[in-house]
Structures are given as C-alpha cells and as structure tokens.
C-alpha cells in the first residue's frame, strides 16, 4: 500500500514537472535611459509602462499579461548605443527574452535592431521611430506604440504653413531622430523656406552660440526639436536671450508635461505639435490622466502615454496567438492588424508597424492657478508616414 502511494506521488510529481516544462512564459526586456540629463524622459517612460502593466493586470513577475505568465527584465542604456547593444545582448543570450520594448533613442534603436531581429525577437518601440525602420529596413518583427520620427515634424510644417510663416531656422540634435525631424518639417513646410539648419550635439545644454546664429539669421520663426534636458536648457536660454519677443517658436518634444515643471513661465506662449492631446474627452484618456497623477503626483507627458499603451498591445497580441511565444512575428502581425484603444483614441497601424494617428496643435497658456498649462487647440491632420512605400512587400503586414 505504501509502495503504491509512493508510486502514485512520484507519477503525479512527474506529471506536474512535465506540465511546468511545457508551460509558456513571456519574457520582456525593457530598455530605458535612467542616468544622465535624459533620465527625466526615462522616468516618464517607466511611469507610463508601470501604470500600463497595472491596468493590464500585471504587477510582478509571474503575473499574467495577455493570459501568459510574464517576467520583465530592465536595463539602462545611459543614452549610449554601445551600452544599449551590450544590455540587449544580455536580454537575448542570458534572459532569453521574446520582446524588447522601451527604447528612447533612435541611434540606440538602429544599433540594436539587427541582432534583435536576427534572434527572431520582437521589438515594440515605446518611443524611437527612425525612418529606416519605416522604410527599407522595415521588419515583420517590429511594431510601435509611439510614432514615426517625422510625424510631429510634418505636423509642425503643416501648422507653420497655415500660419503663413515665410522664413524659418530649424534646430535639432545631430543624430538620426534630429535629422528625421528636420527633414519631416521641410517636407510639409510650403509657405516659405528654411534659411538655416543648426544641428547641435546630443545632450547639449549651452545654446548661446546657436542662439547667436538665430539672431543673425533674423527668421520669422524658429523650429526646434529638443527633448528632455535639452529642451529645458534651451527654453530658459531662449527667454533669457529675449528672442522669444522677436521670433515665433514652434517646438516638438520640447515643451510638455515632462519639461514644464522645470521650464516654468518660460514655457508660456510655446506652440507644439503632438500626437497626444491631454484634453481629449474620452474615458481611456480620463482614466489614464487621473490614475497617473494619483500614482506619480504630476501631469503625464506623451512619453508616458506611449509607454502606457505598450503593455496593452503586448497583451492583445499574446491573446491573439493563444499565448504562444514561439512565433513573435505572429504576435507583431496580430498587433498591426488590430487597433489600439489608447488615451489618444482608437489607433490603427500602417503596414510597416508604425502608428497611424491624429496630430494636434497645443499651446502653453497661463492656467487658472497662474502656472503654465498645455491646452489642446485643434487637430492638425491624421498622419501616415512618408516611408511606408519603401518597405519591401514581403516585409509588410
């Protein structure tokens, strides 16, 4: 009797072990920037991701995302492509991830994309949207919860054209996203000409020489892309120079819920194009803003919105494939063919995995409490990136 009981126990244990061995576990690597002057962006990206995970039902390793037990690994690229590559190599070889998400910087994205795709691992970008990945280097393993780099730039070009601007100086950091954003603006700016382009070093904090060039050029408007700490430094120096009283400013990724607390009153009067309007009157947006402020104590930015949407997309994709992790291209395909229920509204995807979404004119005004506040003014257009036709037919979904 005892031998029979022991044998039954051994058989039951073997069955459980076999079941556990065959069980699916989703493993995600989240690459962020947590040190240096751009850590403020990483903070918002992380905040949005954490809230998105909670709203999707995941709080700790082992909880289910899209019906699948999920483990998440984190790494800091320090805004350096070579460190990002090192951390992603660890994700792939040691952590055995199925998805790499996060990724703020386009130069980091362009460095890591090939080894990730070669490993048959999916990338779900929560920020970077470099033009090569929208075009000739598009890949069925790529999708996004954010934007294609040129989107807000093209919206700003349309906005400046409607405003009848004749002369513009364009400024951006000298890397992939900076060049994409200058090119995007020039593609849609039709009422005048760009009289000068200034490419400053990524992470720049001293804009005095650049502002002297702007003053000398005497444009009607300045267009600038300066995310995170770069934007904070620029806006303070812009106002201190007095140029804000002479030249109209169109900025993107520069004045938002992330930077306004540090910029202060210098932000008032700024005009931004953005793919998220914080005043949108839909239940998803209301819940996102309310829960984000309750949890983190400050207004969210579009970085937080994009990252917030990523876990829900992953969950939707995993449900669509029945929780299987052996074909991540199928997960990416399910995400691309579906929609995204976002604080931005109901969003769809282009065949290259980039988001199709509306872009908005935002203005920074003095709020009822006397502090700068972002006000949604009007929709500029619904955007489809300019590169999708360069995506090879066999890479489209």
pLDDT at 235: 94
Instruction: Tokens for 13, please give them.
Output: 């244990």
H/E stretch holding 171 reads strand 167-173
Name every residue whose Cβ is closer than 8 Å to that of residue 7 and which is 6 or more positions away in sequence: none
Closest CA to 229 of 198, 199, 197, 261: 261
pLDDT at 16: 39
Q: What is the mean pLDDT of residues 53-65?
A: 98
Give the count of alpha carbons within 13 A of 305, CB side only.
27
pLDDT at 23: 52
Helix/strand/coil for 163: coil
Instruction: Tokens for 348, please give them.
Output: 């769809």
Q: What is the CA radius of gyration of the chain?
A: 23
Is the pLDDT reported for residue 3 higher than 60? no
Closest CA to 167 of 122, 216, 232, 110: 216
Q: How far apart are CA 175 and CA 202, in angstroms?
A: 7
Q: How far apart are CA 231 and CA 205, in angstroms?
A: 9
Q: How far apart are CA 107 and CA 167, in angstroms?
A: 30
Cα distances (Å, whole numbers) of residue 208 to 71, 197, 226, 244, 266:
46, 16, 15, 14, 16
What residue ranges of the chain are covered by domains with CATH 3.40.50.2300? 22-147+281-349, 150-274+359-383
Residue 264 near residue 350, CB atoms below 8 Å: no
Unique residue bearing structure tokens 């037990």: 69
pLDDT in tens, 15-45: 333 334 335 899 999 999 999 888 999 999 9
pLDDT in tens, 184-206: 999 999 999 999 999 999 999 99
pLDDT at 5: 52
pLDDT at 37: 81
pLDDT in tens, 156-195: 999 999 999 999 999 999 999 999 999 999 999 999 999 9
Residues in the chain: 397
Give the count of alpha carbons within 13 A of 359, CB side only.
27
Q: Which CATH architecture has domain 150-274+359-383?
A: 3-Layer(aba) Sandwich (3.40)
pLDDT at 20: 40
Closest CA to 330 of 307, 322, 64: 322
Cα distances (Å, whole numbers) of residue 8 to 5, 20, 21, 41, 238:
5, 18, 20, 56, 77
Cα distances (Å, whole numbers) of residue 16 to 9, 19, 193:
11, 5, 70
pLDDT at 256: 85
Residue 269, Ramachandran bin (φ over 0: left; ψ between -120 and 50: alpha; else beta): left
Q: What is the mean pLDDT of residues 75-101?
A: 98
> Where does residue 65 rank: exposed (0-12), middle (13-18), buried (19+ CB within 10 A)?
buried
pLDDT at 309: 98
pTM as predicted: 0.89
Is the pLDDT reported for residue 2 higher than 70? no
Is the pLDDT reported for residue 9 higher than 50? no
pLDDT in tens, 243-264: 999 999 999 999 888 889 899 9
CATH number listed for the domain at residues 22-147+281-349 = 3.40.50.2300
Q: What is the mean pLDDT of residues 214-237?
A: 96
């Amino acid at each position: 009797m005892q031998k029979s009981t022991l044998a039954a126990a051994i058989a039951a244990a073997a069955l459980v072990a076999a079941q556990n061995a065959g069980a699916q576990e989703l493993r995600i690597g989240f690459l962020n920037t947590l040190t240096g002057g751009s850590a403020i962006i990483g903070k918002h990206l992380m905040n949005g991701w954490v809230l998105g995970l909670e709203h999707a039902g995941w709080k700790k390793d082992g909880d289910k995302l899209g019906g699948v037990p999920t483990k998440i690994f984190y790494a800091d690229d320090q805004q350096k492509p070579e460190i990002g590559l090192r951390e992603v190599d660890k994700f792939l070889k040691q952590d055995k991830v199925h998805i790499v998400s996060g990724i703020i910087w386009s130069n980091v994205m362009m460095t890591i994309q090939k080894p990730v795709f070669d490993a048959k691992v999916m990338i779900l970008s929560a920020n970077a949207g470099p033009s090569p990945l929208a075009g000739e280097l598009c890949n069925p393993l790529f999708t996004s919860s954010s934007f294609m780099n040129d989107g807000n730039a093209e919206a700003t070009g349309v906005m400046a054209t409607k405003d009848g601007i004749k002369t513009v100086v364009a400024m951006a950091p000298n890397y992939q996203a900076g060049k994409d954003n200058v090119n995007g603006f020039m593609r849609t700016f039709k009422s005048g000409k760009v009289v000068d382009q200034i490419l400053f070093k990524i992470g720049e904090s001293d804009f005095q020489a650049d502002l002297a060039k702007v003053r000398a050029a005497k444009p009607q408007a300045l267009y600038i892309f300066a995310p995170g700490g770069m934007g904070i430094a620029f806006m303070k120096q812009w106002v201190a120079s007095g140029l804000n009283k002479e030249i109209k400013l169109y900025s993107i990724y520069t004045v938002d819920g992330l930077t306004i607390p540090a910029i202060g009153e210098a932000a008032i009067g700024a005009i931004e194009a953005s793919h998220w309007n914080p005043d949108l009157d839909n239940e998803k947006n209301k819940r996102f803003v309310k829960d984000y402020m309750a949890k983190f104590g400050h207004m969210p930015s579009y970085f937080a919105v994009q990252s917030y949407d990523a876990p829900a997309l992953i969950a939707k994709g995993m449900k669509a494939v029945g929780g299987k992790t052996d074909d991540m291209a199928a997960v990416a395909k399910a995400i691309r063919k579906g929609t995204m229920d976002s604080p931005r509204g109901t969003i769809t995807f282009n065949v290259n995995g980039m988001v199709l979404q509306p872009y908005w004119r935002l203005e920074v005004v003095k709020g009822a409490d006397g502090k700068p506040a972002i006000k949604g003014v009007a929709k500029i257009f619904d955007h489809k990136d300019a590169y999708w036709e360069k995506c090879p037919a066999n890479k489209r979904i």
